Amino acid sequence: MDKKSYVVAGAIFINALAFFLSAPIVDAAPQNIEATGEYLIGDGPDENINTAKERARTEAMRAAAEKAGVYVESYSKTKGQALTADDIRVVSAQVLSIQKEEFLPKIASDQKHIIWICTIKATVDPDNINLEKIMQDKKAVERAAALEKRILELQNENNQGELSS
């Protein structure tokens, strides 16, 4: 090889090295999520502090799962997985790791009721996302629900048959 060939080969090598070193490194760091839910205690007989706290927590968890869903969808697209919106809801609810929950009461604007506020701080860690296992679990639940529905249909048919006899 002559000197010119070495220079060309060296230039190609340096360009290739620069390209690979400048490529973004995919590092899926844990995502922190904060969500809030509120519940106004009404005047009904089943309204109490524990019920209000649980309903506020449910709202906060729903909001956290929605936020996690955006992250899970982005992560799954990066990994090449195809998920439906329903799948994303299932996955995002399962991968949330609750770090902290806080409950605070607040007087409502009518000065007669109390609003309970639940704030959740959670983490979504991509290292803990096992999409295949989650989807298998989801399919098993769907099969069980379909089987239960079919059993109820057969029981209804059986009961109707007994009534007509």
CATH code: domain of residue 119: 3.10.129
> Pick from 38, 26, 42: which is nearest to 62 by CA?
38
- Residue 75 has a pLDDT of 59
Alpha-carbon span 48 to 52, nearest angstrom: 6
**Pair 35, 70: CB distance under 8 Å:** no
Q: Examine the pLDDT at 20 and tell me if it is beyond 70.
A: no
Over range 105-132, report the average pLDDT. 83
Residue 1 within any structural domain of the chain:
no
> Pick from 71, 15, 57: which is nearest to 79 by CA?
71
Residue 2 within any structural domain of the chain:
no
Domain count, the chain: 1
Residue 67 within any structural domain of the chain:
yes
Strands (E), the chain: 31-40, 96-107, 114-124
Domain encompassing residue 86: 29-154
Residue 147 within any structural domain of the chain:
yes
Alpha-carbon span 27 to 79, nearest angstrom: 12
Residue 89 within any structural domain of the chain:
yes
Residue 11 within any structural domain of the chain:
no
pLDDT tens sequence across 33-72: 899 999 998 877 888 889 999 999 999 988 888 787 766 6
* Global pTM value: 0.55
Residue 115 within any structural domain of the chain:
yes
Name the token pair of 153: 């249909």
Residue 21 within any structural domain of the chain:
no
